[in-house]
Each structure stands twice: as structure tokens, then as C-alpha cells.
Structure 1
Amino acid sequence: MQILLAAIVVVPLLGAVAALLPAPPGLKGRSPEQAVLRHGVTVTGVVLALSVALAAGFDHGHPARMQATTDVGWIPALGIRMHLGVDGVSLPLIVLTALLTFLCALYSYGSPPRERGTDPKAFVALILVLESGTLASFAVLDLVLFFLAFEMVLVPMYFLVARWGGDGRERAAWRFILYTVLGSVVMLLGLLLVGIKGGTFDMVALATDNGSKLSHTTQLVAALAIGVGLAVKAPMWPLHSWLPDAHTAAPTTGSVLLAGVLLKMGTYGFVRIVLPVTPDGAHSLAPYLAAFAAVGIVYGSLVCLSLARSGAKGDLKRLIAYSSVGHMGFVLLGIATLTPTGVNGALFANIAHGLITGLLFFLVGAIKDRYGTSDLDTLSGATGAALYGRAPRLGGLLAFGAVASLGLPGLAGFWGEMLAMFGAFRPADGLSRPAYLTFMVLAGLGTLLTAAYMLVVVRRVCMGETTQEAPVVADVRTYEFAAWTPLAVLTVLAGLWPAALLGLTDPAVQQLLRGGN
């Protein structure tokens, strides 16, 4: 188990180095381009297999205990250790990251990325570095290592957007890097404050102490500093403005990984670090976090509704990006309740958002490839998409993703949002129940608005009459079917069998909130 977790983090890095080397003659296939893309599928497939093996060997009877741990000295003078481990909170995120990265590599193999004057070697290497950094963020148990892994993903995502993105890609990439780096600088100050005042950078030891070595003022300052950095990545309103531009400009695989994986690093940091390590600071800041989350839910939904209306020249990718602001608002609201119910709902919503929004970005990318645009007015015009008639399987999948995103019972999107609102209905002791009831009502309004704009999108893109002069559009291709089916199946399974995920997260959440080891 120790070797498995270490290999999951290291193998993508080794694969990234290998991707930049010339392919052996016997492995080039039809072209060097095909060889390196196949290499990406192979490496990410190996990482996914290792993640599944880790999940299979995980002791599901004790999900609150750190397992597959590695703890060796790295920089003794600073007390920094190479400490890795996995519990019921991090295991689902590791598997989700490995799955989405593999599906992105598979999709890229069928639809190679295009960028003037380059081959896909750099693309595959960046995807693998991004995967390694994200997996490390969920696996490391040292504050300094967490920060390094947190920062490791910024450079590959910047280049994915800047080199392989669409219109406005350079501006979007710069906004992404500027926002996240500034947030990370503030977060680093908070992490160093916790490590120095707490006497260790070990996240397990700090969580066990439950803030007993930190004064109230220290906890408050640290929680605020760390929370700002995490909130930028989450993204929390009003620190979200980098997200729509990055999603709109990013290539399809970049959008999938940004929504499905990178946003989770911020909310994971709240659960792993802020709640157990600075409980007093978290308690003081929780109402403000909940208020921002509730506003973000309504704001994101209203913007999406505005983009969806006829004549608004709304971009479908931008609409899905703004929907992430609303959905991640539910995650932050669940965390801000400081209750096991709310935090479990947040973790469930994390996974559900990764599956559903990842599928939606895949679908929108496929629509843009076929029609040359993701403009809603164009897709719903007289010779628009009309997917039900022209590409029924593609239209059916888009409708499925839409109803899953709006939280239809029986699909994954329902449980996380419901549990987050349940947590807001009865927040932790000491938090204002009237205020949280207000936040719950706002979140409920957000679900209604989400249903409204998603149904408008389905009506405008999927429905309509086909005309004879309209060009023929390919339905779901084989490689697309292979990349999208796992996400659709898991969305249904998570919706019908939520106990599989909640059974993993609940004991770990209970322990983190009470500070036990």
C-alpha cells in the first residue's frame, strides 16, 4: 500500500519526462504524434489502475485512519518530512483525479490537440505534470509539501490555456496565474504561521492537537490567510472572476481538468487543514464563508440564466463555467456549517461536480468541434444544433448532464446539495441558526434557478427542427463514447448508492471535526 500511493504520485512525473524523449522506433505507430498520445493514455491508465488497486486494498472498516503512509525525513533543519497518506476524505479525490486524467488522455488520443508549429509532446507532458501535482495535493500530509503540490499545478494549467486555448487564451491564462499566485502567497503566510506556532508542519499531528497550541488570534489570522488562498482556487464569490475566462479559453481537456480536479484542491484544503487545525478561527469565519457561498450560488445561477436567454450572445462553455461557481458554492456552504452532515455533503458534492461538470465540458467541446462555435444563439438558430434530430445520442447525453447538474433525485448532483442544505438547517453550536436558515433559503433558490437555465439550454440546443440545407453532423464517436460513458455511469451509481461514498467520508469527517487521531 505504501508503494502504491508513492507510485501514484511519482509515475506521472516519470511519464512526463518520458513523453519529451524520442519514441522508440517500434512504438511510433503511424506517426510520432500518435505515439506520444498513446504514451499519455498508457501512463494515465497505469495511474488509474494503481488508484483502483489502492481503493481495493483500502481498509474500508477504518476509513478515518491514515493508510498507505510514508513518513521519512526530507529537510530536518526545518522539520519538513516526506509524509504521505490516504483516508476516506482523500481516497475518492485521488480516484476521481486519476479517472478524469485518463479519460482526458483517451479523448485527446481520438481528437489530438492542435497548436501551430508544435507536436503534442509538450501537451502530454503538461497533462502528466498536472496530474502528479493534483494527486500529491490529496496525498501529502505536510503543510509545506501541500503548498508545493498546490503550486505545482499552476504552470502546466497556464500553458495548457495559453498554448492550446481558443480566443482570448493569453489574457485568460494570465488572469488565472495572477489570481492563484496572489492567493497562494497569502496562503503560504498562513501555513507558515500554523507550522511555526504549532511546532510542526505535520498535518496529522496538527489535526490531532485541534488547535490546542494555537491562540485564538493565531487561529483567526491563519484561518483567514489560508482560507483566502483556498477560496481563490475553489472558487468562491467574489474571488471567482478568473474562472469563466479560463474555462472559455481552455481546450476541452483543460476545462475538464480545471473543473473536475483543480477546483477540488481548494475545498479539500478547507476540510483537511482549516477545520481541524484552526477550529476556533474556522468557527469565527464560518458565517462569512457561508454568506459568500450563498451569494455565489444565486449569483452564478443568475448569470447562467442571463447567458441562456435568447439574444444574449451567451457562450455555452462560459455558462457551464459560471454554473461551477454556483455548484462549488454548495460545497463551501456545507463546509461552513461545521457539521458532519454539511461537510459530508460538501465532499459528496465535490465528487458529483467533478463527474457531471467534467461530462458537460466534454460534451460542449464536442459540440464546438462539430459546429465551430459554442455560441448559444448560433446553436439555437434556424440552422442550429437541434441535437435530438441530428445527433440524438449527443443530444441525449447533453440532456442527461443537464438534469444531473440541476440536482435531479437519483443522480449524483442531488445528494451533496441536499446534505449541504440540511447542514445549514441545523449548523454547529454557536453559529446563528437564523442566518444559516437564510443561507439555506438562498441555496434553495439557487437550485430553482439552476433548473431554469439548464432546461433553457436543453430546449435551445437539443430541440428544434432540422432542415435539409443543414450540414450533416456526426453523432457520438467511438473514442467519445469510451471517454464519456464512465462519467455517466458513475453519476447514476453515485445517485442510486450514495452510501458507498458517504460510508468512506463520514468516519473521517467525524474525526477531523473533533480532532482525534
Structure 2
Amino acid sequence: MTDLPWLSLLVALPLVGAAVTAALPAALAKRFALGTSLLTLAVGIAAASQFVIGSSEQFQLTEQYSWIPQLGVSWALGVDGISLALILMALVLAPVCMVAAWDDVPGGRSESTYFALLLSLVPFMVGVFAATDVFLFYVFFEAMLIPVYFLIGMYGGERRQYAAVKFLLYSLAGGLIMLVAVIGLYVVGPGGTDGFMIERLTGLDIAQDTERWLFLGFFIAFAIKAPMWPLHTWLPDAAAESRPAVATLLVGVLDKVGTYGMIRFCLQLFPEASQWATPVVVVLALVSIVYGAILAIGQSDMMRLIAFTSVSHFGFIVLGIFAFTSTAHAGSNLYMINHGFSTAALFLVAGMLIARRGSRRIDAYGGWQRVTPALAGVFLVAGLSALSLPGLSTFVSEFLVITGTFQRYPAAGVVASLGLVLSALYVLLMYKRVMTGPAPTVVEGAVTRLEGPDTGGQDLPYVRADLDEGVTPAQIGPVRDLGLREKVVVAPLLAALLVIGFFPKPVLDVLDPAVQRTLQVVGVSDPAHDAPADTASTHGSDH
């Protein structure tokens, strides 16, 4: 079983499935795309079962085939604990998003193309996390822009074309800068037919100035993708104008390429430059935490609010990466996984609300917990995960990041803690405005009948997406609560938040060897604890 090309299979299966999906009629295309995503998830789980925790090898499930030998490019794939966890998260979210998007395609637009584009994201998500050849990583990094651009530009909201072009321009600019750095890295590297392999580029003796320029080329591209302040402005537009399933995959998975790239390439290939840039990066991360949270508090658009919370959360992830302690680094890696499930729950539940009300504006709601108690409960749990409530998975990762940051940068830890307070404000204020208050009442002529499996065999009145923005919250209703399909969507997300929240050890055990290896390559160790003068020398070797 270990001889199977598991990772190549995970790339090829959804890629072929996407091509078939595009050629099928809509009703069959949706089912085929969902089936292919579930099959890919099953293959991914089988591949993960071959992974050996604690192996001395950096990458497992490795494959390497000569691709463009004249340029030193190989088709080389492999995973460590970090990339394996991110791939599994992506494979879980893909079918969840497809079920959530089942009836989400606007009228007059091709459902077959929509689901084919969603499925085509899967091979790029696998490839970008599994590539062990720097040039191959760059190919996946750029290729995944294509389906996202069309998913936003063809199926988004009123300003979809603006959001799609802005997303593309930012991403292409970052990719172009990184391409220059990739070429420069090959020039200073050992060259040869496999000159882009990560293991051959690790530990190079590069001139200081050259290393710092190369670091900046990679870091800027990843800061745009993450996104970090001040390169974040494409995200709120892209997330707000996307369909909820697209926004989930964009923010929950694809943006992790930025923070993953910082770990895999910036830290491993340019350790001296990473330490040189740390003071500036830490400041940028702190600004992202506070700035994103403050802007989230002031948003009137639900989808933009969730997007700005992610700017703040990515600030925590970057802070943990560059705090250079094992605790903070482990927290950052776990945060990438937890944020994927948390933001998926927020975006998809918000999409369920918008489908009923027909508005993204928070002030267009009010009193919905009285008529949709199950939906309100899920929305509350998703919101509490965003503010890192103890018992939910995000608490563990955020606590590790802040604790680890305090070990090396106490002042930065204090500022980061402010993000906890601000997150409580934007989450609880949004819930209060959307879910509490008097029960909404019926608007004459604004309610239609719903027929389908989600109704449990009944025809229930609910609000369509054809209401004017000016309709006040008191003019809504009655609306249906969660249907069967929607419960299938939220169940795995809530399960992940609760299970990892109460028992994070299995995930941390997978991540820890890669965390320790990364810090060893950078050449940093955890700060020594303060000790009495007469015992410091005796126990110094233990710290």
C-alpha cells in the first residue's frame, strides 16, 4: 500500500472528476461532483493511515519524477504533519461545501460548471500543500487562481466582476514577485535536474543581502495570500461577493497557503533572513489582529464582517510563526486547522441566513432565534468558536499562540490579548443584532412556499432572496429552521470544533515533529525560564 502514488492520486482523481462534471447535465453533475469529493476524501484518509508519526524523515508518502529536467523541475510530492493536516482539512471541507451549495447557484447560470469549478479546486489544494519542488509549488500556487476567479466573477453578487478582478490582480502581483525569487533561488542553488527540490535548497550558504531579498520575494506573495495588513484589502470584497461555499474554501483553505508558505519556504529556506525580518513581521501581525477586529466591529455586511475576523485570525497565526517558540509555533499550525472549520461554520451559516432573508445587511435581521432556534444555536456556536471560547478548538490554538508569544515577546503577547476582547465584541454584537429581539412578522406578498426534502414533507413559508434592502427587521417571517441538508452541512463542522476543542492531542502529535524540525532549521530554541543564580548553571541544559 505504501508504494501507491497516494498524493498523485489525490491530485488526479478530482481533476478528472471536474472535467467529467462539466460535461454532465446539472442534476447528475452535482451528484457526481459530490461523489468524487467523497471518494477523494476516502483516498486521503487511506493515505493518512500510511503516515508514521515521529518519523525521522521530513516528508513521507514521497514521489519524485523528472518533469522538466532542463529547468531542474520535478513532479515531487510529499507530506509532513503540517501539510497532511491541511490536506485532510481541505478534503473534509470540499464535500461539505458542495452539499451547502446544492441549491445555491443563481438562476440562469450553469450548475454543472459551478460544481466542476468547485471540484477543480481540490487537486490544487492538495498539490500546493504537498509539493516538495519549489517550482511545482509555484505552479499550483498560480493555477488555483483560475477556478477561484471564475467562481467569483461568474457566480458572485452584484459587484462580482470588481471583486474577481481585484482578487486576481493582487494574487498575480504576489505571484510575479515570488516567481522572481524562485528563479533567484535556483540561480544560487546547486542546480541540476532536481535543482528545485526543497531538501537541496535547505541550508544553502547564501550571501546575506541575497538571502534577505529572496525572503522578501516569497514573504510578500504569502502576505498577500494570507492576507496580512496592509495587503488584505482584496479579501473583504472577494468574500462578500462570493457564494458562501466559495468564500469558505477561499478563506478556510486557500488563504492558508500564505501562512503555510511562510513556514515551509520562508523559515526553512531563509532562516537568517526570517530572524532578521521578525521585528517587522511581528508588528504587522499585531496590526492585523487589532485592525481586523476593529473593522469587523464596524461592519454592517455580515460576510464582510466574517472576512475581517479572518484578517485578525491570520494575524494570530503569523504572530505564532514568528514568535519562534515551540508552543506558539504549534499553536499557529493548529490554528490553521481550527480556523478552517470555524470560518466554514460562520460563512455557511451566514449563507443560510442570507438565503432566507435575501440580504447580507446585519440590520435587516432581528429576533430570528424565536423562529429558527436550531439555526440560531448553530450560529452562536460558530460565533463562539470565532472568539475562542474554552471547549472549542480555536481556544486551544489561540491560547498556545499567546502563551508562546509571551515567552519571547511579552509586550506583543499583551497587544495580541487585546484581540480576545475585540473578538468578543464583534461576535456577540452580531449575534445580538441578528438573533435577539421581538419575533419578526409576515410581510404580505414577501413570503413564498418551499417544497423539497429539507421541509420534512411539509410546505413551509420562508423569505426568498427578492426582498428590498429597505425592509426592516420587524417585517420578516415566518422562516423555516434548519432542514436535513443543512444539518448534514453543519454537523461535521461542529463535531470538529468540539472534538479538537476537548481532545487536541492527536492533532498536536501529528504536527509536533514538523514544528520541532522547523525551529531546528531556523536555529532557534525556546527561551530559558528564569532560574535562581545558584541553580541556573546546573539546569541550564534542560531549558
TM superposition score normalised by structure 1: 0.91
User: Which residue is 2:196 aligned to?
Assistant: 201
The residue that corresponds to 1:310 in the other structure is none
The offset of 1:468, in angstroms, is 4.4
Describe the SS at the equivalent of 1:223: helix
- State the partner residue of 2:353: 367
Residue of structure 1 in register with 2:77 after alignment: 84
Out of 159, 176, 190, the position equivalent to 1:185 is: 176
Matched, 1:242 2:234: yes
* Native 8 Å contact 2:33 2:115 kept in 1: yes
Map of 2:20 onto structure 1 = 18
1:510 counterpart letter in structure 2: Q
Aligned partner of 1:292: which letter? Answer: L
Note the alpha carbon deviations across 1:310-340, whole angstroms, 9 max, x for none. xxxx011110010000001000101111222
Q: Does 1:37 align with 2:30?
A: yes
Show the counterpart of 2:297. 305
- Aligned position for 1:219: 211
Task: Report the equivalent of 1:513.
Answer: 519
**For 2:198 and 2:18, how far apart are their aligned partners in 1?**
29
Deviation at 1:64, TM superposition (A): 5.6
Q: Out of 429, 443, 449, which is 1:456 matched to?
A: 429
Alpha-carbon separation, structure 1, partners of 2:389 and 2:146: 37
* Residue 259 of structure 2: aligned partner: 267
Which residue matches 1:440? 413
Per-residue Cα deviation, 1:347-374 (whole angstroms, up to 9, x for no partner): 1111111000011000000000000012
Letter in 2 for 1:453: Y
- What is the identity, as a one-letter code, of the residue corresponding to 1:393? A
- 1:7 matched residue in structure 2: 9
Shift of 1:512: 2.1
Deviations, residues 476-513 of structure 1 (Å, cap 9, x unaligned): 11111111110110011111111111111111111122
Match of 2:110 in 1: 119
For the Cα contact (< 8 Å) 1:130–1:152, is it kept in 2?
A: no
**Letter of the aligned partner of 2:20 in structure 1?**
A
Q: Partners in 1 of 2:107 and 2:170 — Cα distance?
A: 26
**Partner of 1:235: helix, strand, or coil?**
coil
Please say if 1:329 is aligned against 2:315: yes
Q: 1:282 aligns with which of 269, 274, 280?
A: 274
Counterpart of 2:380 (choices 392, 399, 402) is 399
In the other structure, the counterpart of 2:406 is 425
In the alignment, the residues of structure 1 paired with residue 362 and residue 232 of structure 2 have an alpha-carbon distance, to the nearest angstrom, of 23
Write the distance in 1 (CA, Å) between the matches of 2:43 and 2:142. Answer: 24
Count of paired positions: 483
Q: Is the 8 A contact 1:331 1:346 kept in 2?
A: yes
Q: How much has 1:57 moved relative to structure 2?
A: 2.3
Structure 2: gaps (5+ residues): 443-475, 523-543
Give SS of 2:231's match: coil
Q: Deviation per CA, 1:433-462, whole angstroms, max 9, x where unpaired?
A: xxx322211110011000111111111111
Amino acid in the other structure paired with 1:452: L
Do the aligned partners of 2:54 and 2:513 also contact (CA within 8 Å) in 1? no
CA contact (8 A) 2:441 2:478 kept: no
1:476-515 to structure 2, matched below 5 A, reads 476-515=482-521
- 1:387 maps to which residue? 368
Could you tell me which amino acid in structure 1 is paired with residue 53 of structure 2? Answer: H
Larger Rg: 2
Partner of 1:133: 124
| 1:257 and 2:252 correspond | no
Q: How far is 1:20 from its partner?
A: 2.3
Of 141, 144, 147, the match for 1:153: 144
- Residue pair 1:63, 1:87 contacting (<8 A) in 2 also: no
Counterpart secondary structure, 1:20: helix
**Alpha carbons 1:64, 1:511 under 8 Å: kept:** no
Q: Does 1:176 align with 2:167?
A: yes
**Residue 85 of structure 1: SS of its match in structure 2?**
strand
3-state secondary structure, aligned to 1:71: strand
- Which segment is superposed worse, 250-259 or 57-66? 57-66
Aligned residues of 1:101 and 1:257 also touching (Cα < 8 A): yes
Structure 1, residues 392-418: CA drift from partner, whole Å, max 9, x if none? 000000000111110111111112211
Q: 4+ residue stretches of structure 1 with deviation over 4 A? A: none
**Letter aligned with residue 150 of structure 1:** F
The residue number in structure 2 matching 1:415 is 396
Displacement, 1:195?
2.2
Aligned residue for 1:432?
none
Q: CA deviation at 1:69?
A: 0.6
| Counterparts of 1:128 and 1:453, CA distance in 2 | 33
Which aligned pairs between 1:456-475 and structure 2 lie closer than 5 A?
Answer: 456-469=429-442, 470-475=476-481
Deviation for aligned residue 1:423: 2.3
Gaps of 5+ in 1: 24-31, 308-313, 381-385, 428-435
Percent of pairs identical after alignment? 34
CA contact (8 A) 2:365 2:433 kept: yes
Letter in 2 for 1:423: G
The separation in 2 between residues aligned to 1:90 and 1:204, in whole angstroms, is 16
Residue 11 of structure 1 aligns to a residue in which SS?
helix
Query: Per-residue CA shift, 1:85-143, capped at 9, x if unaligned?
Result: 0110101100011111111112223x241252x32121122112211111100011001
Is structure 2 residue 221 aligned with structure 1 residue 229? Answer: yes
Question: 1:467–1:77: structure 2 CA closer, same or farther, 3 Å change rule?
Answer: closer
CA distance in 1, matches of 2:110, 2:316: 40
Kept in 2, the 8 Å contact 1:115–1:164? The answer is no
Q: Distance in 2 between matches of 1:371 and 1:115?
A: 17
- For the residues of structure 2 that align with 1:192 and 1:392, how far apart are their CA atoms? 56
For 1:113 and 1:389, how far apart are their aligned partners in 2?
A: 29
Deviation larger for 388-397 or 333-342 = 333-342
**Which deviates more, 493-502 or 237-246?**
493-502
Instruction: Find the residue that maps to 2:78 and give its secondary structure.
Output: strand
Note if contact 1:295-1:442 (Cα within 8 Å) is conserved in structure 2: no
8 Å contact kept, 1:63–1:508? no
Query: Given residue 235 of structure 1, which amino acid in structure 2 is its aligned partner?
Result: P
Contact (CA 8 Å) 2:104, 2:243: kept in 1 or not? no
Distance in 2 between residues matched to 1:284 and 1:459, nearest whole Å: 45
Q: Any residues of structure 2 matched to 1:67-82 within 5 Å, and which? A: 67-82=60-75
**SS class of match (2:480):** coil
Give 1:376 deviation, angstroms: 0.8
Query: Aligned pair in 2 of structure 1 residues 126, 353: CA closer, same or farther (>3 Å)?
Result: same
Following superposition, the deviation at residue 62 of structure 1 comes to: 2.1
Deviation track 1:162-207 (CA, whole Å, cap 9, x = no partner) reads: 1110121111111100001001111111122222212221113323
